[in-house]
Structure 1
Amino acid sequence: MHKVVHSENIKEALAKKGWTQKQLADALEVSAQAVTLWLKGEGLPRPDKLLKLSTALQLSLAQLIKADDPDRPVIAFRKRAATKTTQRHVDDAVTRGKLLRALVPSLPELKALRTELPNPSLAYADLQRAVGQTRAKLGLGEDARLSYSALISEFAANDAFIVPVLWGDKSRHENALHILLPATRVTFIYLNLDVRIEDFKFWMAHELAHVYTPTLSGTEQGEDFADAFAGALLFPQALADKAWWECSRCKRKGEIVATLARHAADHQISLFTVYRQVQAFAGALGLEPLSLDERSDIHAVRHAIRGSTVAQDLFGSAPPEPATYIGVANNVFRSEFFPSLQRMLLAHDTGPAYVQQILDLPLADAMSLHAALLR
């Protein structure tokens, strides 16, 4: 069941204390935006923040939390840098989730057993244990390069349906969207192909973490765990160990960055991911951290060495025809999304407006895609 804070009780308590939302945010040591989103029903404070909220406003946990619509779609965005999630973004995603309910009966038979991490933890040893088990399940050694194609089977095995989309490289608020339908536990994961491969792999690993931890969906704790899991899965301890020792022998910053960049290129992941995993490894083992500045030494170089986009690798430079696009979704991503959509369109004589709404496409593109699905 999707839980949210009881905004009416909180607002009443704030009025009694004469506090603003900003003052409450300061008391909880969170951003004012976080408080605003909670009061709008988006996300739930972490347990430690809930306790602080209870103490600050003298409200019981029962007074702080209420159950929302039990089948309200649970959403999570993978936002573009420097973008802000607004209530309109949230409302649009929830509406799309409600529309997707109509597609569920056309999906393949749902799985009885799914993989779940029972006690997701940010502790370094726990994370490494979790990603080690995942790599073993995927048939990968601890130092093998992880391709995004290796992750695809895990989504299908857990009733998480990949929806590859072409949303452009700059025009949207999000590059990925995760929609969980609680009643059926079906997940739809929209992934923008107009992004760099190293970013795409991280997002897929991030989304897999969400699939493995459905109880954390839609929470800040879930986002933190998904980010930590993704980094560790792409560059686990064995690789971080090797990179740290190589960097420890470097005499200049430039040599350290070049070493990290080589590892990033070898594994087709971002320089930032490698850097963060090496620093986490050093911290966990009590070793000297790398003497680099994240902004000036890492991000500046990272943006200069970015590779091609997923769409460029799959389609070349020209936009794909609808049939080609559907073929890639079916065969490369092994997604049942479009076959299921095709079954629904044929069974119910559903028009292109539905395709437009669930894929967020211009109507002309939706009509072309609709026609291709009915051929």
Structure 2
Amino acid sequence: MTWVPGAAGSLYDVDNLPYGVFTRPSEEPRVGARVGEFVLDLAPLAAADLLEIAHALEQPSLNRLMACGLEQLADLRGWLIDVLTTDAGRDSAEPFLVPVGEVALQLPFEVGDYVDFYASEHHATNVGRIFRPDGDALLPNWKHLPVGYHGRGGTVVASGTAIRRPLGQRRGADAPEFGPSTRLDIEAELGFVVGHPSALGDRIAAEDFGAHVFGVVGLNDWSARDIQAWEYVPLGPFLGKSFATSISTWVTPLAALDAAWTALPGQDPKPLPYLAPDSARGLDIAVEVELNGEVIARPPYAAMYWSPAQMLAHLTVNGASVRTGDLFGSGTISGAEPGTQGSLLELTWGWHEPIGRDGRLALEDGDTVILRYTAPGTGGGRIALGEVSGRILPAH
């Protein structure tokens, strides 16, 4: 049991301990861990205990910490649990607890490359049926490889950042039109953050996923569907996606998700051997989508077709390297049941069926979207993976 007030049994108990970067007035940003409704200021505490890893906790991003080896990270987590559950730890750590409400949370890591996948069979099938009602819902390659596209790392922003409605070209009756997107959408996703890098020319085996991925974040890949629909043939998403991607300010380490791993729904036909189909596992993570204070969907990550390890293996199978801070997203999380779709495009079935108490089709100026994530914790309860929020501002 932790001694931190209110933390025991909460979504941020000691079986969670996500990392983030925080600031206080007149102080430099540095690394903290969340426990209950507090942030533990790690740098001075680790320095007082003469931890070798203390220098990585003084940084304004998580990158140096994420690049540490598995042994160092496991030692840090063990030390954290010890100081938060023992009397001796309380004496040393209590002065470094700061209420969450007294800090400003920052973008937690310096983002390198950003890749987004399309790993939900239900989402891909729904989109196919909406746009190709007379054709095959899934294209021939979809069940043989995790489809993805390269996004824009420079427009990944922290939860709470306002999102400006993008401008762009849209299909018109006789010629393309230019103006603000009228089909602004969300994509409720899970993001995976690379810690240990790889070398150019090498590939990462699916079984080495845990040696390279530091942790996970909630992710909203904002999408301008009308811009996307006009531009994506033949090379895929571009300006309809690149204007903003929001992530949670807390990064949940993989060690906190030990109890969340689960079997995949099933893969047929069997993927090629480099995708390790016999050992592929998914994650039992529940997602909640809230629009203007109303929950409109609950997508289940356990329904995803492609596993996180398969996505990383495919991302690097051609020898493409990954760097500390690289981010890859799962693609929209959608389930088979009504109300489990992670995008407005699906929930409204192609902008034809209004949803929610306000009868929304697409996002309007002033709308606020919040994504929340929970997973089974190793302590028997549930843990939170943070939240991702954003409010829509009018186009310039």
For Structure 1 versus Structure 2, the TM-score category normalised by the shorter chain is: under 0.3
More strand by share: 2
Structure number with larger C-alpha Rg: 1
Q: TM-score, normalised by structure 1?
A: 0.28
**Larger fraction in helix:** 1
